[in-house]
């Protein structure tokens, strides 16, 4: 009996907390359908006959920010960077574990070290380097993301590979597989859950990343965070209606991604952290 009441109270607490967590998104959603001048004054109110504007904010926002092109650039950069990171860092991690040498250890510790260095430390010099080497385009930035993502990704992969028995690999070599075949046919399938973790963590980071793409390609190519910041950061008065609509459109792909692959995301975050 006492337990039942207690559980009831706990359930109520969770219910209230969930409402509090959903509230901000709900506010942005209702305001995206409101007249721009009524947003800053009464953001908590639902739109009424006077303030409802249908999709006007959306058409305006999409036009002003070039949202579709921003969406496609975000998608392009995220998908290819994550693919490149998973392919190359898994190979590097395996090589580091299987070939013991001073240089490999040095590389490993340098990669781990890079994880704690704040971005501001390399912000200016990295964007200059990217500029000089002509990496300041959507293809070049994939290469830069490989360099920045390598720390965490190699770290997670090596943590897992250390526990993979070497005997299957040796058997495959005796059967006549070359090293590339050994890795992609025998090793990589075993790494798949870890690869998903690495892919998820990097997707969450790259999709939302603002400063790196802004500094490297921001003048010519806008990703979603850059487009949103551009709308707000521009001079003159801010069109609050368009801003609300853009916030909704930015959240939408994330929510769809989250709901469709929630299982992997939660697992990825939990296992990525345990190994950290």
Partner 1 sequence: MKNPIKRYFPIFVLPTLIAFLIAFVIPFLLGFFLSFTEFTTVSNAQFVGISNYIKIFTEDATFLNALWFTIKFAVVSVLSINLIAFTLALLLTRSLPLTKLFRTVFFMPNLIGGIVLGYIWQVIINGVLYNFGYSITSSENFGYWGLIILMNWQMIGYMMIIYIAGIQNIPTDILEAAKVDGANGRTTLFRIIIPSVMPSITICLFLTITNSFKLFDQNLALTAGAPGERTQMVALDIYNTFYSRVGYEGIGQAKAVVFFIIVAIIALLQLRLTRSKEEEA
- HEC per residue, the chain: CHHHHHHHHHHHHHHHHHHHHHHHHHHHHHHCCECHHHHCCCCCCCCCCCCECCCHHHHHHHHHHCHHHHHHHHHHHHHHHHHHHHHHHHHHHHHHHHCCCHHHHHHHHHHHHHCCCCHHHHHHHHHHHHHHCCCCCCCHHHHHHHHHHHHHHHHHHHHHHCCCCCHHHHHHHHCCCCHHHHHHHHHHHHHHHHHHHHHHHHHHHHHHCCHHHHHHHCCCCCCHHHHHHHHHHCCCCCCHHHHHHHHHHHHHHHHHHHHHCHHHHHHHHHHHHHHC
Q: Which residues contact residue 130 at a Cβ distance below 8 angstroms, ignoring those fewer than 6 apart?
A: 136, 140, 141, 144, 216
By C-alpha distance, which of 86, 198, 219 is closest to 142?
A: 86
CB of 49 to partner 1, least distance (A): 21
Which of 77, 224, 242, 245 touches partner 1 by CB under 8 A?
224
Q: Tell me which residues in 44-103 interact with partner 1 (CB under 8 A).
A: 44, 88-89, 91-92, 94-96, 98-99
204 binds partner 1 per the rule CB under 8 A? yes
CB of 59 to partner 1, least distance (A): 20
- Give the pair of three-digit tokens for residue 230: 């551009």
- Give the pair of three-digit tokens for residue 245: 């609509």
16 binds partner 1 per the rule CB under 8 A? no
Q: Tell me which residues in 146-185 interact with partner 1 (CB under 8 A).
A: 146-148, 150-151, 154, 173, 179-180, 183
144 binds partner 1 per the rule CB under 8 A? yes
Nearer to partner 1, 49 or 274 (CB): 274
Compute the radius of gyration of the chain from its Cα atoms.
24
CB of 186 to partner 1, least distance (A): 13
| Binding track over 179-198 against partner 1, x by CB under 8 A | xx--x---------------
Q: Going along the chain, which residue ranges are E strands?
A: none
Nearer to partner 1, 18 or 69 (CB): 18
Nearer to partner 1, 62 or 144 (CB): 144
CB of 154 to partner 1, least distance (A): 7
Nearer to partner 1, 1 or 180 (CB): 180
CB of 135 to partner 1, least distance (A): 7
Which of 7, 137, 219, 260 touches partner 1 by CB under 8 A?
7
Which of 54, 120, 163, 167 touches partner 1 by CB under 8 A?
120
Nearer to partner 1, 168 or 266 (CB): 266
Nearer to partner 1, 55 or 166 (CB): 166
Nearer to partner 1, 51 or 179 (CB): 179
Nearer to partner 1, 68 or 143 (CB): 143
Which of 69, 129, 137, 219 touches partner 1 by CB under 8 A?
129
């Amino acid at each position: 009996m006492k337990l039942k009441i207690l559980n009831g109270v706990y359930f109520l607490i969770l219910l209230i907390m969930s409402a509090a967590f959903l509230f901000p998104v709900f506010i942005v959603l209702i305001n995206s359908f409101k007249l721009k001048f009524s947003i800053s004054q009464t953001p908590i109110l639902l739109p009424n006959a006077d303030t409802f504007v249908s999709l006007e904010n959306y058409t305006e926002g999409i036009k002003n920010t070039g949202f579709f092109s921003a969406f496609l650039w975000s998608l392009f950069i995220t998908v290819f960077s994550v693919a490149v990171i998973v392919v190359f860092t898994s190979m590097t991690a395996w090589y580091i574990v299987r070939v013991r040498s001073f240089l490999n250890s040095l590389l490993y510790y340098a990669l781990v070290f890079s994880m704690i260095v704040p971005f501001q430390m390399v912000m200016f010099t990295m964007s200059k380097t990217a500029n000089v080497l002509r990496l300041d385009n959507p293809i070049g930035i994939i290469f830069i993301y490989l360099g920045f993502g390598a720390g965490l990704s190699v770290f997670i992969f090596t943590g897992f590979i250390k526990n993979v028995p070497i005997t299957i690999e040796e058997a495959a070599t005796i059967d006549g597989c070359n090293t590339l075949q050994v890795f992609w046919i025998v090793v990589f399938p075993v790494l798949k859950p870890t690869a998903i973790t690495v892919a998820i963590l990097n997707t969450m980071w790259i999709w939302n990343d603002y400063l790196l793409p802004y500094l490297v390609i921001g003048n010519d190519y806008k990703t979603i965070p850059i487009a949103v910041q551009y709308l707000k950061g521009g001079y003159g008065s801010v069109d609050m209606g368009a801003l609300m609509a853009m916030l909704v459109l930015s959240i939408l792909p994330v929510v769809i991604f989250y709901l469709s692959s929630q299982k992997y995301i939660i697992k990825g975050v939990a296992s990525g952290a345990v190994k950290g």
